[in-house]
Amino acid sequence: YLNGDSSPKGPFVPTKADYQKVYDAVARRLADETDYDDGSYGPVLVRLAWHASGTYDKETGTGGSNGATMRFAPESDHGANAGLKTARDFLEPIKAQFPWITYSDLWTLGGACAIQELGGPSIPWRPGREDRDVAACTPDGRLPDAAKDQRHIRDIFSRMGFDDREMVALIGAHALGRCHTDRSGFDGPWNFSPTVFTNEFFRLLAEEKWVQKKWNGPTQFTDKTTGTLMMLPTDMALVKDKGFKKHVERYAKDSDAFFKEFSDVFVKLLELGVPFKTDDRIVFKTSDSE
């Protein structure tokens, strides 16, 4: 093979079955590595997939999950990305096992896998992202600031092309995981089952009484009943704003509607700015299915 290719058939072209193998390897690693936070790396994988994607700007077509530029400083050092090295490192053994997958496909696949494995809706996913170099890093300030209000939420998410309903559906992902003082400065989980994907975020937001937490940290809110849960100022904005609140109340009552609408909008988030060559999405089999 005079051109140096390792195979007479040319470069390796992965099939759906190959991507399912990657999914299975991530799911296996999630099941094995439980000695972290609340028992799962799933939430921080969802945050990695979202921060890789949420830099998208529809006007310039820059940012988004294509490129995986968070591998490089300055993007890896942006304040909003604090703590995400944990998620990138978690996926390194998977990248070593499947060297043909790009980081940008792997990070988004990891987020889709985490949502499914933690009991969420299926997140149909398609490949096609290519890794780019440091020159493609986005400027700081494209990801949201949790200390701000509804105007900021609309500014940031309309720049990506989302409407009010989609913004609220997305933010339901805060059912997963927690805030860490050494990452964002905020502290605590949003609900009592931070490793299970549910509509609890909306139920608690709509039904609990939330009071400002008394501490030296940044302004955040705590539930009056137990004093152990948290809401960010941006989370509280969803019940202060009438246009947002009607969706909070709907999702609080109707888990099926939330799961369906969340899936659609998370698929859209992971695909922002990617020049796909296929319309064909893969619906991954979850590890507990036959």
In whole angstroms, the minimum distance from the beta carbon of 186 to ligand HIF comes to 5
Q: Which of residues 230-249 bind ligand HIF (CB under 6 A)?
A: 232, 234
Q: In 33-84, where does DSSP find H-type helix?
A: 42-53
Residue 78 engages ligand HIF in binding (rule: CB under 6 A) = no
**Which listed range, 119-127, 172-180, 212-220, 256-264, lies at the site for ligand HIF (CB under 6 A)?**
172-180
In whole angstroms, the minimum distance from the beta carbon of 172 to ligand HIF comes to 7
Q: From the CB of residue 257, how many other CB atoms can be counted at a distance below 10 Å?
A: 14
Which of 70, 91, 173, 204 touches ligand HIF by CB under 6 A?
173
Question: By beta-carbon distance, which residue lies closest to ligand HIF?
Answer: 177
CB contact set of 122 (below 8 Å; sequence gap of 6+): 116, 263, 283, 284, 286
- Give the amino acid at 68: A
In whole angstroms, the minimum distance from the beta carbon of 181 to ligand HIF comes to 7
Q: Is 266 helix (H, G, I), strand (E, B) or coil?
A: helix
Which of 123, 179, 270, 282 touches ligand HIF by CB under 6 A?
179
Name the token pair of 201: 């975020």
Question: Quick one: how far is CA 23 from the chain centroid?
Answer: 16
Residue among 107, 125, 190, 210 flagged as catalytic: 190
* Local structure of residue 159 (DSSP, 8 states): H
Is residue 100 flagged as an active site residue? Answer: no
Rounded to a whole number of angstroms, the CA Rg of the chain reads 19
* Local structure of residue 193 (DSSP, 8 states): -
Is residue 215 flagged as an active site residue? Answer: no
Instruction: List active site positions.
Output: 51, 190
Binding residues for ligand HIF, per CB under 6 A? Answer: 43-44, 46-47, 50, 83, 144, 146, 153, 170-171, 173-174, 176-180, 183-184, 186, 232, 234
